[in-house]
A and B are shown apart, each in its own frame.
Chain A
Amino acid sequence: MSSSIQPPPSLQPLLQIEQLQVHYGSVQALAGVSLQVQRGELVTLLGSNGAGKSTTLRAISRLEPASSGRILWHGADLATVPAHRTLKLGIGHCPEGRRLLNRQSVAFNLELGAYLRRDRSGIAADLERCYALFPRLAERQQQQAGALSGGEQQMLAIARALMGRPELLMLDEPSLGLAPKLVTEVMAVLAELHRNGQTILLVEQNAQAALEIADRGYVLEAGRIQLQDNAADLLKNPELKAAYLGS
């Protein structure tokens, strides 16, 4: 425990982003994004292709440098933290396109998810938990990750992120390329994790599916937050309906 005096948890967000700007060369990807995530929340970040959703997650993971603005984690600026330290701090990132180790087995991928942990019994317990959450992975432990179906790969990506016991689980479009039935399945798992207290930041294009399980949502457009509200209200929002919900 830190000995310094900190505001009560309700006042200090777990993650707070202030006026974040990111550039790829001379192209501006994020033009001043501000958002926050409280402990235990499931927050979704919506938007179309190229709106800057993945860039936001990559900036939080320190894979992309911020050109201005701040990313505060537990109130501390992440500016000087190297990318490989973010998981140690509690930020788990399940990246766009899953990025599995395709030539390695399912078991190896999960083992590497717990790379930073030394608590053997805890790791074994979490492995059990992951296999319980995704029974199909248990059946395919020794298969190459690259040989799994799209849905199984997505489950493996989520399970691998969980093996790192992140305080904040960030997911980049877990529904991408999945059949509707599998999208429902993945969202149900995320909802269950959320019920058990997992803080989640979910990037999605599938606004309907994401808002159904989220507490709050942000809508990103051309590198700026255009809308933010409770998930229930966003679902009813006429602007959003027109743009993303297809009705």
Chain B
Amino acid sequence: METLLQTLLNGAASGGVYALVALGYTLIFSVLGVINFAQGALFSLGGYLTYLLLGGKIGVNGALPGWGLPIGLPFWLALLLAALGSGAIGLLVERIAFAPLRRRGAEPLLSLITSLGAGVVLVNLLQLLMGAEGYAFPQGAAGLAHLPESLLLGGARIRTIQVLLLAISALAVASLSLWLDKSRSGKAMRAVAEDPTTATLLGINSEAVVRLAFLLSGMLAGLGGGLIGMSVSLAGPYFGISYGLKGLAVLVLGGLGSVPGAIVGGLVMGLAEALIPSQASGWRDALAFAILFAVLVLRPSGLLGRRQLEKV
């Protein structure tokens, strides 16, 4: 009982992070119809930024061994600022890897390569600065220190950090959905997603909406990276890439461009992985992609994907 509850919670928590990454892809895919392959690198960046903002020091293989920011922010502030930092770099990726191609009317598929390139550069810069070693977040980081290591819930003992992870991802996903649904700029984004020309004629600056999508998408990735860093560790500059790929699988699993699909897909993926016994943990990624394969055979447009409307 105890282990099952802990297992389900673990699954939901990592599912929440997958959903964050997949939502990041979804925003950009909706407005531009392309995938931003730098998403995994922004995830890594978010993890490292959170580490530094919490007061973590650079290791011996980094460019400035032993250096650290002279601050140790509360974890929630560090997460927020790290997300904003990743969002800002996401905007830069748009400027460098997407905007020039769009302006020249290039084949949208080309941006897969340019964004992958931007991601590789970013990860290598991280490696240059921080070294290739793994980092554990500073023990008892401010704001977390007074939280108990574990909680008792219905007779089961569960890790506090997992609860926190799930709560923060749920909050981020809920605010994003609410924003898309209710706010003026969220509505503008939905209009651009459906028909950029119409949106333009209605007075919506679709270029500004595209930039907003990249900012938000980078923030979601950065937040995911910070959360995983807190609950597990930073396994090296490439640690975000596997989350980026998992997010991509979730995106397709849930249905390309569907917001509820990304959320459901993330949870399905996270729970399925968590249910694999730890002796067989090497099979996790294989299972993830087996699920993806099975769903796509049965439902080619994903769990909650729309059937493509044929244009006449």
On A, residues with C-beta under 8 Å from B are 61, 63, 82-88, 92-93, 95, 99-104, 108, 111-113, 115-116, 146, 160, 164
Interface residues in B186-229 by Cβ distance below 8 A to A read 187-188, 190-191, 194-195, 197-206
Given A63-B197, A87-B201, 18 further pairs, Cβ under 8 A: A63-B200, A83-B200, A84-B204, A84-B206, A86-B201, A87-B203, A88-B203, A95-B201, A101-B194, A101-B195, A103-B306, A104-B190, A112-B199, A112-B202, A112-B204, A115-B184, A146-B309, A164-B203
B201 and A102 form a contact (CB under 8 A):
no
Contacts of B201 in A (CB 8 A): 61, 63, 83, 86-87, 92-93, 95, 99
Contacts of A108 in B (CB 8 A): 187
Chain B: interface residue total (CB-CB under 8 A): 19
Quick one: closest A residue to B184, CB to CB? A115
Quick one: closest B residue to A92, CB to CB? B201
A101 and B206 form a contact (CB under 8 A):
no
Shortest CB–CB separation between residue A63 and chain B, in angstroms? Answer: 7
Interface residues in B271-312 by Cβ distance below 8 A to A read 306, 309
Shortest CB–CB separation between residue B49 and chain A, in angstroms? Answer: 34
B198 and A95 form a contact (CB under 8 A):
yes
Shortest CB–CB separation between residue A33 and chain B, in angstroms? Answer: 21
Quick one: closest B residue to A170, CB to CB? B201
Contacts of B309 in A (CB 8 A): 102, 146
Quick one: closest B residue to A117, CB to CB? B203
Pairs A–B under 8 Å by Cβ, sample size 5? A84-B200, A87-B202, A103-B306, A104-B190, A116-B202
**How many angstroms from the CA of A95 to the CA of B197 in the assembled complex?**
9
Quick one: closest B residue to A160, CB to CB? B202
**How many angstroms from the CA of A160 to the CA of B202 in the assembled complex?**
9
Interface residues in B239-253 by Cβ distance below 8 A to A read none
Shortest CB–CB separation between residue A92 and chain B, in angstroms? Answer: 8
A115 and B203 form a contact (CB under 8 A):
yes
Contacts of A101 in B (CB 8 A): 190-191, 194-195, 198
Quick one: closest B residue to A103, CB to CB? B194
Contacts of A88 in B (CB 8 A): 203
By Cβ-Cβ distance, the 9 closest A-B pairs, closest first, are: A116-B203, A87-B203, A99-B198, A84-B205, A83-B200, A101-B194, A84-B200, A93-B201, A115-B202
Quick one: closest A residue to B194, CB to CB? A101
A164 and B202 form a contact (CB under 8 A):
yes
Contacts of A84 in B (CB 8 A): 199-200, 203-206
**How many angstroms from the CA of A116 to the CA of B138 in the assembled complex?**
48
**How many angstroms from the CA of A123 to the CA of B184 in the assembled complex?**
15
* A84-B204, A84-B206, A164-B202 known; A112-B197 Cβ under 8 A: no
B200 and A113 form a contact (CB under 8 A):
no
**How many angstroms from the CA of A190 to the CA of B190 in the assembled complex?**
30
Contacts of A61 in B (CB 8 A): 201
Partner of B191, one of A83, A85, A112, A146: A112
Shortest CB–CB separation between residue A73 and chain B, in angstroms? Answer: 15
**How many angstroms from the CA of A112 to the CA of B189 in the assembled complex?**
11
Shortest CB–CB separation between residue B284 and chain A, in angstroms? Answer: 36
Indicate with 1 or 0, residue by residue over B173-191, a CB within 8 angstroms of chain A CB atoms: 0000000000010011011
Interface centre among B187, B191, B203 (most CB of A within 10 A): B203
Shortest CB–CB separation between residue B180 and chain A, in angstroms? Answer: 12
Shortest CB–CB separation between residue B211 and chain A, in angstroms? Answer: 14
**How many angstroms from the CA of A201 to the CA of B205 in the assembled complex?**
24
Partner of A115, one of B188, B195, B306: B188
Interface residues in B87-141 by Cβ distance below 8 A to A read none
**How many angstroms from the CA of A164 to the CA of B203 in the assembled complex?**
9
**How many angstroms from the CA of A50 to the CA of B124 in the assembled complex?**
53
**How many angstroms from the CA of A146 to the CA of B205 in the assembled complex?**
24
